[in-house]
Chains A and B, each alone.
Chain A
Amino acid sequence: MNSDKYQEGLLISAIQNGTVIDHITGGEALIVLRILGITGSTNECVSVATNVVSSALGRKDVVKIENRELKDEEVDRIALIAPKATINIIRERRVVEKKGVDIPDTLIGVLRCPNPCCITNTNEPVSSRFSVQGKRLICDYCDTVIGSDISSHII
């Protein structure tokens, strides 16, 4: 048993069914919850550990959500702000799927375009679409670039 597992075990117990998001950059668990739409008024049973000692990251956050398996577009959102995270889908206490959070080449419906004149910010029947070029995200419709503070543009 490595020290990561030991620390986690002390802080939050294993779950029966659901999702464990591990290796979130220390202190960013609350942003992950926000982009998953989890607030005090939603029903999920959620455990959060922040600033757990991690051999790989120094400090990391861990989020466990019971009875909810993340969808691919939710994984895309997490990838944007926590590129080192790993996502484990748990069924009957076993990890049945391990998703890395690779940022895809195109992000559809994940970010709101910061350009108020962009056609995606109107009532047209389209989702926002951003191309990922390294650390820059470029709106496919209006060419607006999001280079920093990505989390504030996540829908």
Chain B
Amino acid sequence: MATDSRDDSAIAAIRNRIWFTVMAVIVAALALVPVLGTSLSFSFYLMLWITMATGLNIIAGFTGYMPLGYVAFYGIGAFATAILTKMFGVPVYVSILVGGVCGVLLSLLFAPTLKLKGIYFAIVSLGLAIICRLVIVNLPESWAGGSYGINLGLSISPVVTFYYMLAVMVAALLTITWLAQSRLGKALRAIRDDDQAAEVMGVNVVGTRLKAWMLSALFGALAGGVEAWYTNIIDPESAFQFLVTAKTVIYAIAGGLGTVTGPVIGAIVMVWVDDLIWQRFPIFNLFLLGLAIILLILFLPRGIVGSIIQRKPSWRRYIL
């Protein structure tokens, strides 16, 4: 964005203050959920999707890659967490962090795909996620539980898990807030808009992209790990389900890719809508979800925040 380079620090300060206030309100409201005893599960998944949408935003929104296999990181995080906890007796909150590292390692393994573009990248990424699932299904049952999955066998304390998820979400939000304003974020946007021009300007295209890819993977894997802890049982079919990627992408787009606030707002609105549909029309849920996606893409292609910025360009200065 051309305005970014001319940003004067006063506007940046106001913008940050608005965003941090919004973030503080969201975090405070969520932190109070277990105390007030409102729906724990709903809020847990809300935080999960905010984290996922924000993680995806790092790679899709800031660099223009659409990883249709994003669920691979989520799945690998979940399985690494489960295997470490169950087989090696590692305390679960450590396993989750190691699971996050596994996600980053996987992203390094997949790094060569970043030289692909557009639909090729999207499809190869989807293929890799399916290969991950098949590899886990084909591993010896004593390791990864085969197609039946793993029961973590933890004594569940939903509230502790809830706060762990909150911590992961806050980490994701702070990371993207920093990213959007850092040199790295500007380099990423430059690459997204024109990678050759960015290269000429001295941006290390390959290295910069890789950083975004790793960060994106980290948060996907952490979210998967916490979810494995929360449900206490995982299986390859659901841990690598395409619907996870689809929801992440849709929630992020509903808010608006490429803005920090967009995917957060998108996730909040859409998780709520999804929940409402699920309650009212349990059988029709999938049908209505499909319809909602179509209407969203056709009539609000830039998402909620994206459309606001499009209508009132001057607000760009106040929305991160």
Q: Do A and B bind each other?
A: no
